[in-house]
A and B are shown apart, each in its own frame.
Chain A
Amino acid sequence: MPKKGNVYINENWCKGCEICATFCPKKILGLRGDGKMEVMDPENCIACNQCVLRCPDYAIKVEVIDNNE
Chain B
Amino acid sequence: MQGNEACVEGALDAGVTFYAGYPITPSSEIAEDFAAKLPRVGGKFIQMEDEIASMAAVVGASLAGEKAVTATSGPGFSLKQEIIGFAGMIEAPCVVMNVQRAGPSTGLPTSPAQGDVMQARWGTHGDHPALVLCPSSVADAYLLSFQAVNWAERFRTPVILLLDETIGHLRERVILPRKDEMVIANRKQPQGSPESFQPYDILDEDLIPPLPPYGSGFRFHTTGLYHDETGFPSNRPEVTHRLLERLHQKIDKYKETLFLYETYGLRQANQLIISYGASARSAKAAWRIAREKGLLVGLLILKTIWPFPEEIVTQVGHDKNNIVVAEMNRGQLIGEVERVMDKRIPVRGAQRADGVLITPEQILAKLEGVN
Direct contact of A and B (CB under 8 A): no
Taking beta carbons and an 8 Å cutoff, which residues of B are in contact with A?
Answer: none
Measured CB to CB, the residues of A under 8 A from B are none
